[in-house]
Structure 1
Amino acid sequence: MHPSNDTDQQALIAFKNTINNPLQYLNSWNASNHFCTWYGVTCSHRHQRVIGLNLTNQKLTGFVSPYVGNLSFLRFLYLDKNSFTGKIPSEIGRLHRLEHFSVSNNSLEGEIPAAISNCSNLVSFRVSYNNLVGMLPSSFGSLSKLELFSISKNKITGEIPASFGNLSSLTQLYGGANDLTGRIPDALGLLKRLKLLAFGENSVGVNQFTGSIPVSLSNGSNIRYVHLGYNQLSGKVPSFEKLNKLGVLVLSGNPLGKGESNDLSFISTLLNATNLESLALHDNNFGGELPESFKNLSNTLTRLYVTSNQITGRIPTEIGNFVNMQDFRVNDNKFTGTIPADIGKLKKLKFLDLSQNRFSSKIPKSIGNLSLLVYLYLSENNLSSGITSTLGNCQNILELNLSHNILSGPIAREIFSISSLRTVDISQNQLNGSLPVEIGNLKNLGYFNVSDNNFFGEIPSTLGSCESLEFLAMKGNSFRGTIPSTFSSLRGLRILDLSHNNFDGLIPIYFEEFNFLSLNLSFNDFDGKLPEEGIFKNASVFSVVGNAKLCGGILDLKLPKCIAEHSKKSRLSFRLKILISVAAVLLGVISTTLVFLVLCCLRRSKRVPISSDSPHNSLWNVSYQTLLQATNGFSAANLLGVGSYGSVYKGTIGQEGTSVAVKVLNLSKSGALKSFVAECEALRNIRHRNLVKVLTACSGVDLQGNDFKALVYEFMANGSLEDWLHTKDSSTGEEIQSLNLLQRLNIAIEIACAVAYLHLHLETPIIHCDLKPSNVLLDDELVAHVGDFGLARFLSTDAQSFTIHQTSSSLVRGTIGYTAPEYGMRSELSTYGDMYSFGILLLEMFTGKRPTNDMFKDSFNLHNYVQDSLPNRVEEIADPVLFHNRQVEIITSTRSHENHGFMGNHKIEKCLISVFRVGVGCSVTSPRERMNISDVVNELHSIRDALSVVDPHLLELNFAPGKLPQDHKMEAQTLADNQNFGMKE
């Protein structure tokens, strides 16, 4: 081997010796192979010298060996997305031929070596997402060929060297989320090729640039993207007249402007920017009116944010010119006048926020033309008259906030036809009338606030159909009557406020079982005995003050004791007593006869109904013949799936043609009968919105006289979670259907709530024993329902043990991959086992990988796969579908290795890190170290709440309109980090 070639080989071996190689890709780096064939190594054809080393995303740990500096012919070095620690070796400066250097997404420390400025051929330099410190070397200004410089997400301090104005070839400069200070150098305006300048953040950032925006930037005729958000820039915004290629301008979160009339005059200098798409001026100090020139901005504008300024005047009627507008936010200003009718011409609009202004008059009917609208916020204005019925045309709305206005009249019934609604806030108005019964159509409603209006009448019982409700506020009206019994179905309620109305009757005892409820029933006319169990043991979570007729309750309330009523019989006349006695005898005879007849019928049919409170009473007492007909003879065309103990068919029963799922047990299989009995017993007395509803059970004989047993369930239109996670087209290998990030998060929460109900909220807790995607079914709204209780077991009544001692060595403990490891050692069943299964299920949902994937062997499993990748390599292990639609092509012709995505990508990663930590915490080997289900539910809610409140625009990009988090601090969504302008390298 030529001596120089030997130098390359020795340098590579020295590089390998300083790192760990968990994926074993570097096993090929040995003497039996020529080093030019080693994984990740590229050699020149003529001299067989190493010109490239690409080890991106290999889970490598250790440090970067200084011997890499001996690869004297090296042109590119890519070590991104690993876990390297230590410093960047200064020996990199020896590589005079080096063109591309990229070590982003590692854990590197120390300063950027000034010696790298000796790499005079350097074209791209990427060190973002590390822990680098120190100041930027001024000597980098000598890199005349440098086109891309990326240092985002580090801890770099000091000022930007003025020498950077010498980087004549620079096209992209990323520096957000560091500790940079001082002024932005005027010299940057000398960079004629500059297309992207990003020194900002999407929320309160770390950089603290001061002074004014350099006037010299206005000379950058090639600039297409400017992000200077959330610094301390002040003064007047310069002219952008020469920036005719500008597509994105973000100046948010700076104290720009003085609250004066000419603060926005620079907008007229943007008229030449014919490709302008996004303009973010929110969270500044801009005053005055929108200039007349505003209406002449490019109709390519899709996003306009001027939230939280001091802008006055009217919105121009020419707003209808912006036919491509998707996101229009002008909330928290001082706008006056009417909402222009021409706003109805913005047919692509999805997010409209006009709240916290001084708009008056009516809500324009033309808003009904915005068929794609998802978020509509008109709160805290002076809007009057009624709620326009045309809102019913906006069938994609998720959140509607009309609160704090002076709206009057009844609620337009058409609103309750918008099945997508998750949030409705019409509080603090002058609305009247009764609540329409159509409110029951809003099956996914999570937040409903009608407080402080003039509503009257009784609460419609249909409100109990809104089983997703978490926040229900109706205080300060004139509602009367009793609390509907259907409210017992609202088990997800966290806040219920019915105070300051005219409700009467008893306070329902079922509220005792609402463990997470904050209840306010004060200042009504309730009477009778106050419940004393459940939430009524804690006076801090409920209020009943101002109800003079209540008695009993815990001592802290100091209510009068309940006095037993005197027997009414003593006050009856003798004749009435006689009549009652005769009636009692007759009723007894009739009851005895009926019981005898029913027992005879049951003996004949051998049918076993499960629950007497099923809503489908017409389905009761189905026979084998009925099920045979309903499933078309149990035909293959109706087969939905085959399980361990039987097959499931789709059926149609009753005159209304109700769809059901019929599980027919294969009694020839060992354990099938035991599974049937277990499922009947488990489902007999439980009911939860996230459990599959069993309608009836049939136990009889078939046409051949063989025993026949079947369970009939509510049909789930969207099949199982397994189908949505793993169904692929056989020809293309692509997923036929997929769930986005928020849908998966909602489903995870719903599964967790079901498990919490089974473990914590039953008199005798239940262990499911077989949590997995195929046992989670999705209804037509993609709401999760846990099913298949064939392996379920009741726990000991000792609430401290929460275990079941095994009595059979052959007991089935679940499904391979999801079963807790202690079960393999014949340990007793416990809630810890369910938590392990839930953890694996959660990891599978967000990685897209089954725990039985071929890659998981020996001690390497799904738990370890995720744990080893936290927190820096989340994007590598996450299901790629979760990042669909998250990237936006930057408005530049340059194509490099940069990942041009919005800063929303980082939000997604943060969400996934939190979710994966929950999954890992649930699936640790030691049972008692696993997270408990209460903490899991709270943590998942917090993750979802943070995602929805912090970044609603992220919801728009990544979440289908089927699901929306139920945290409803809607005004908080106008914060700067809502915006989707940031760039990630």
Structure 2
Amino acid sequence: MRVFLLLSLNALMLLEAYGFTDESDRQALFEFKSQVSQGKRAVLSSWDNIVHVCNWTGVTCGRKHKRVTRLELGGLQLGGMISPSIGNLSFLIWLNLSGNSFVGTIPHEVGNLFRLEHLDMNFNYIKGDIPASLANCSRLLELQFNSNHLGGGVPLELGSLTKLVTLDLYGNNLKGKLPDFLGNLTSLKEVGFGGNNIEGRIPDNIVRLTRMVYLDLSRNNFLGVFPPPIYNLSSLYVLNIFGNSFSGSLRADFGNLLPNLQRLFIGRNHFTGAIPTTLPNISNLQMLGMEYNNLTGGIPSSFGKLWKLKVLSLHSNFLGSGSFGDLEFLGGLTNCTKLEILEVGRNRLGGRLPTSIGNLSTELNLLSLDTNLITGSIPHEIGCLISLQSLWLEKNLLTGPLPTSLGKLLGLMKLSLYSNRLSRDIPSFIGNFTMLETLDLSNNSFEGFVPTSLGNCSHLLELWIGDNKLNGTIPLEIMQISPLLTLSIPRNFFTGSLPEDVGRLENLVTLSVENNKLSGQLPQTLGTCLSMGELYLQGNLFDGAIPDIRGLVGIKEIDFSNNNLFGVIPGYLANFSKLQYLNLSINNFEGRVPTEGNFQNASLVSVFGNKDLCGGIRELQLKPCSRQEPPMGRKYSSLSRKAVIWVSVSIALLLLLFIALVSLRWLRKRKRNLQTNNPTLSTLGVFHEKISYGDLQNATDGFSSSNLIGSGSFGTVFKALLPVENKVVAVKVLNMERRGAMKSFMAECESLKDIRHRNLVKLLTACSSIDFQGNEFRALIYDFMPNGSLDMWLHPEEIEEIHRPSRTLTLLERLNIAVDVASVLDYLHVHCHEPIAHCDLKPSNVLLDDDLTAHVSDFGLARLLLKFDRESFLNQLSSAGVRGTIGYAAPEYGMGGQPSIHGDVYSFGVFLLEMFTGKRPTNELFGGNFTLHSYIKSALPERVLDVADESILHIGLRVGFPIVECLKLVFEVGLRCSEESPTNRLAMSEVAKELISIRERFFKARRTTRR
């Protein structure tokens, strides 16, 4: 019996040794496969046809016992669930399921694989918690769940995996804090916790991980100063803490503590202070990213010692002083012969670009110097950077023409030079950039024709050349660039028609040609641009009917305003489901306005300034349609239109003759002929329906003092409730006994009738009537601004306590208001059909809405600069007895000078200085030659805080905020605007650009870039 048992045992051992006892592994793999979905390749088909599991795809067995030891299924496009049967492969050492599409959770049965050393499930869609049972896999060397959807915290049980070398949990949804047990896993070399929602501080015991070479804690919620324990990890090759909330300054000996670093990423934190001068001691450094911090000081020229450097990213900080010498580091970087990416944009770097820029690495493919204070011309030597693919120089102060050597950069894919002062022609060598995808030359002073060679840029996706002085026709060659997504050429002097070939741009999403001198009928081919999302044609001379664009079902914004378009409004516009903005105002459209679909929303549709429109919803305030109104969609021939006009004119003449005979006696008795003395009838033709004196008296409770909200040079302002619309408005009642009041009324109507800007107080309508005593009555009705004037916020001590604001304005709020006002003046001076000078800018004429957005008001002295001569304006001034407001009016006005946009710039400069000092220009401190301007100028740069408004120095600012630098830049803008000589003042477009730049640098309130 004993002999039999012994022989049986030997037989079982032999069977196992020769591979005949794999049934449990086979069954486990079959169950695993049953829950797996395969792609078209059916990579696991061998599992059905081959007898022995050791020959199946992805399966490796041990040499002796023939049990499954390795399951390598990475990147095979598998999906489905991971079966719990995987835990029955008890001899498994290596499990790789990475790079697939597995869903569901990690089965806790994986913890049964006590021989497992390598577990890799990277790049799947696995969710749920990390199973605590993995702690049973005590031999684990690698645990990798990178890029899944795992949640919860890191199980404390994993602290027993003392042999772990790699722990990669990057890119999940893990929460909680970094586990304290991390410091106990002293074998760790690579740790990846980036891209989760982990918070708190880094445990001090991480200093024990002396073998650590790779540490990624990026894109989490860590906070505190730069973690001191990390300074002790001297073996680190890669350190990535990008995108957290670390603060404080970096140690001066940083480069001596971490000498082995090859990649250092500390961007998107809150680090302050200077760049450690010891960083260049890290001789093996290849990639350095310190972007989006609050670093100050200069960029060390010693970076040139990093001869292995490939990437240097320092953008979006406060580096530089805005003066000569800031760019000297470029000379040092010429030793970095492997440099591929250099990003130092969005700082405060000043001075001229050195010629040494041409000696940078010939491998450089991205150069970003945007949003700085760089002056001068682009050096010829830039043409030596032959590998350059992206060049970002936008938002600087560059001047002159584009150097011809730029045409040598044949590999350019992105070229952005917008918002500089570049001039002359757009050179024809632009056509050499056949790989170009983005070209942005907008907001410069380029002139002349657009080169036809631009058509060679057959890969172009975005073309921005607006806000220049370009003329001529739109080149047909542009219409051959079929991949084009954005064509933006607004605010130039283009003439001719919009080419029919625009229909060839089938991928076009944005077409912006507004505010040019284009004319003719709009091409019918517009309707074939089926990808169109934004169509801006306003401010041209287009005529004819709207072409059939019913196919543009994805369009979001349409602006046809300020043209000569006529015909009926197409009914299909009501059905565009994605439409968010439709402006048809100030044209010659006629007939009935639809009342369905999009036309039910008055905030979406604008149709004012079309005198022959009727109907529509009540909020549009159009006249009712008569029964004879033509049905929607009817089109008149030119002959029938002329017949209708002649008949109408004849009837009108007969009616006028009859009325004249009947009314002659009545007209003679009337004291004033309102038609003669009231030219506002034509001026106000584009506004809403007029309102009567009685309506306003009722809306203001008889112009009660309880509704009084302000007074000015020519009248009084009341708060009123219009019962028809249940709308609160502001009513400015003119004092007609005051000399100049009527001209002030007319100036305001004339200025505001055709202009639209979000930072202008909206003139809703006007009242031109007689009161109940037979006296002339004039009133203007505006949107009501609930936060009153800026003046009461800046000088609350001067008003009654009951009306005082509950708090003071923060630095950012004042900067926002300054930007709002600057943008309005830029619009009035440059972007209106006819330039307008406000002539009386001051804080009391800037009103604030619910969210403290600024709105410029009171155009009583405004002048249309193309519609007056010197004599008429001087007469207007003398009759009104006003030349602006003392302290804010430009010096030349006091000497009889005519109004100009330069005078507005002066007023804005004083306005800006007042906002940030809290002192009026008429303050008793000032007198003689000592003005608010000279007061600020004498304090810069050392005594900025001495002249700043104390109420903003400590409100709403984070710790360490560089307020001195911020205020210094703001004051400098104010001083440059309020120069005594008009020729020395900035243009408002430059002012707006500089203020926006200041806001972006110090408050990170950046607009979405075009990159």
1:340-355 → structure 2 map (5 Å cutoff): 340-355=403-418
Go from structure 1 to structure 2 and tell me whether the alpha carbon gap of 1:276 and 1:527 turns closer, same or farther (over 3 Å shift). same
Residue deviations 1:127-166 (CA, integer Å, cap 9, x gap): 2233333322344334332211111122222233445334
Distance 1:447 1:127 in 2: 41
How far has the Cα of 1:337 moved from its partner?
0.8
1:537-616 → structure 2 map (5 Å cutoff): 537-564=600-627
Distance 2:411 2:451 in 1: 20
SS at match of 2:599: helix
Is 1:133 aligned to residue 180 of structure 2? Answer: no
Go from structure 1 to structure 2 and tell me whether the alpha carbon gap of 1:35 and 1:109 turns closer, same or farther (over 3 Å shift). farther
Q: 2:576 aligns with which of 514, 529, 534?
A: 514
Residue deviations 1:568-619 (CA, integer Å, cap 9, x gap): xxxxxxxxxxxxxxxxxxxxxxxxxxxxxxxxxxxxxxxxxxxxxxxxxxxx
Q: 1:498 aligns with which of 543, 555, 560?
A: 560
1:236-251 → structure 2 map (5 Å cutoff): 236-238=298-300, 239-251=302-314
Distance 1:267 1:505 in 2: 61
Go from structure 1 to structure 2 and tell me whether the alpha carbon gap of 1:390 and 1:192 turns closer, same or farther (over 3 Å shift). same
Distance 1:104 1:560 in 2: 64
Residue deviations 1:857-898 (CA, integer Å, cap 9, x gap): xxxxxxxxxxxxxxxxxxxxxxxxxxxxxxxxxxxxxxxxxx
Distance 1:547 1:124 in 2: 70
Distance 2:410 2:278 in 1: 38
Distance 1:566 1:298 in 2: 72
SS at match of 1:288: strand
Distance 1:535 1:113 in 2: 55
Q: 2:464 aligns with which of 377, 401, 423?
A: 401
Distance 1:505 1:106 in 2: 58
Go from structure 1 to structure 2 and tell me whether the alpha carbon gap of 1:507 and 1:107 turns closer, same or farther (over 3 Å shift). closer
Residue 307 of structure 1 contacts residue 974 of structure 1 at CA under 8 Å; is this kept in 2? no
Go from structure 1 to structure 2 and tell me whether the alpha carbon gap of 1:80 and 1:379 turns closer, same or farther (over 3 Å shift). closer
Go from structure 1 to structure 2 and tell me whether the alpha carbon gap of 1:89 and 1:366 turns closer, same or farther (over 3 Å shift). same
How far has the Cα of 1:332 moved from its partner?
1.1
Q: 1:61 aligns with which of 128, 133, 138?
A: 128
Distance 2:433 2:265 in 1: 34
Q: 1:432 aligns with which of 469, 487, 495?
A: 495
How far has the Cα of 1:92 moved from its partner?
5.3
Q: Which residue of 2 aligns with 1:442?
A: 505
> Can you give the 5+ residue segments of structure 2 that lack an aligned partner in the other structure?
1-34, 37-79, 98-112, 631-1005
Distance 1:506 1:49 in 2: 79
Go from structure 1 to structure 2 and tell me whether the alpha carbon gap of 1:272 and 1:507 turns closer, same or farther (over 3 Å shift). same
1:251-400 → structure 2 map (5 Å cutoff): 251-400=314-463
Q: Which residue of 2 aligns with 1:974?
A: 1009
Residue deviations 1:165-202 (CA, integer Å, cap 9, x gap): 343321101111222222223443122321000111xx
Go from structure 1 to structure 2 and tell me whether the alpha carbon gap of 1:478 and 1:130 turns closer, same or farther (over 3 Å shift). closer
Go from structure 1 to structure 2 and tell me whether the alpha carbon gap of 1:507 and 1:140 turns closer, same or farther (over 3 Å shift). closer
Go from structure 1 to structure 2 and tell me whether the alpha carbon gap of 1:543 and 1:221 turns closer, same or farther (over 3 Å shift). same
Distance 2:550 2:147 in 1: 51
Q: Which residue of 2 aligns with 1:231?
A: 293
Q: Which residue of 1 aligns with 2:588?
A: 525
Q: Which residue of 1 aligns with 2:87?
A: 29
Task: Give the total of aligned pairs.
Answer: 539
Residue 25 of structure 1 contacts residue 39 of structure 1 at CA under 8 Å; is this kept in 2? no
Distance 1:316 1:137 in 2: 51
> Can you give the 5+ residue segments of structure 1 that lack an aligned partner in the other structure?
1-19, 42-47, 568-970, 979-985
Q: Which residue of 2 aligns with 1:469?
A: 532
Q: Which residue of 2 aligns with 1:983?
A: none
Go from structure 1 to structure 2 and tell me whether the alpha carbon gap of 1:446 and 1:226 turns closer, same or farther (over 3 Å shift). same
Distance 1:153 1:351 in 2: 28
SS at match of 1:335: strand
Residue deviations 1:231-273 (CA, integer Å, cap 9, x gap): 2211122220210000001111112122122122212121111
Is 1:176 aligned to residue 242 of structure 2? Answer: yes
Distance 1:492 1:356 in 2: 31
Identity %: 38
Distance 1:403 1:409 in 2: 14
Residue 288 of structure 1 contacts residue 312 of structure 1 at CA under 8 Å; is this kept in 2? yes
Go from structure 1 to structure 2 and tell me whether the alpha carbon gap of 1:199 and 1:529 turns closer, same or farther (over 3 Å shift). same
How far has the Cα of 1:543 moved from its partner?
2.1
Residue 111 of structure 1 contacts residue 133 of structure 1 at CA under 8 Å; is this kept in 2? yes
Distance 2:94 2:487 in 1: 61
Go from structure 1 to structure 2 and tell me whether the alpha carbon gap of 1:216 and 1:114 turns closer, same or farther (over 3 Å shift). farther
How far has the Cα of 1:972 moved from its partner?
4.9
Residue deviations 1:377-417 (CA, integer Å, cap 9, x gap): 11100110111111111111111111111111111121111
Distance 2:279 2:531 in 1: 52
Distance 2:157 2:606 in 1: 70
Q: Which residue of 1 aligns with 2:224?
A: 158
Q: Which residue of 2 aligns with 1:197?
A: 264
Residue 36 of structure 1 contacts residue 50 of structure 1 at CA under 8 Å; is this kept in 2? yes
Distance 2:246 2:464 in 1: 40
Residue 368 of structure 1 contacts residue 394 of structure 1 at CA under 8 Å; is this kept in 2? yes
Q: 2:284 aligns with which of 212, 222, 234?
A: 222
Task: Specify the code of the residue in structure 1 equivalent to 2:119.
Answer: N
How far has the Cα of 1:339 moved from its partner?
1.4
1:388-787 → structure 2 map (5 Å cutoff): 388-484=451-547, 486-517=548-579, 518-564=581-627
Distance 2:474 2:83 in 1: 65
Range moving further from structure 2, 445-454 or 153-162:
153-162
Task: Specify the code of the residue in structure 2 equivalent to 1:520.
Answer: N
Q: Which residue of 2 aligns with 1:188?
A: 254
Distance 2:381 2:473 in 1: 32
Range moving further from structure 2, 287-296 or 359-368:
287-296
Computing the radius of gyration from Cα coordinates, the structure with the larger value is 2
Residue 80 of structure 1 contacts residue 102 of structure 1 at CA under 8 Å; is this kept in 2? yes
How far has the Cα of 1:492 moved from its partner?
3.2
Distance 2:629 2:265 in 1: 81
Is 1:99 aligned to residue 157 of structure 2? Answer: no
Range moving further from structure 2, 501-510 or 103-112:
103-112
Which protein, 1 or 2, shows the higher relative CO under an 8 Å CA cutoff with sep ≥ 6?
Answer: 1
CA RMSD of aligned residues (A): 3.0
Distance 1:73 1:468 in 2: 57
Distance 1:49 1:186 in 2: 48
Go from structure 1 to structure 2 and tell me whether the alpha carbon gap of 1:563 and 1:121 turns closer, same or farther (over 3 Å shift). closer
Distance 1:296 1:228 in 2: 24
Q: 2:272 aligns with which of 189, 210, 219?
A: 210
Residue 92 of structure 2 contacts residue 116 of structure 2 at CA under 8 Å; is this kept in 1? no
How far has the Cα of 1:467 moved from its partner?
2.7
Go from structure 1 to structure 2 and tell me whether the alpha carbon gap of 1:129 and 1:475 turns closer, same or farther (over 3 Å shift). closer
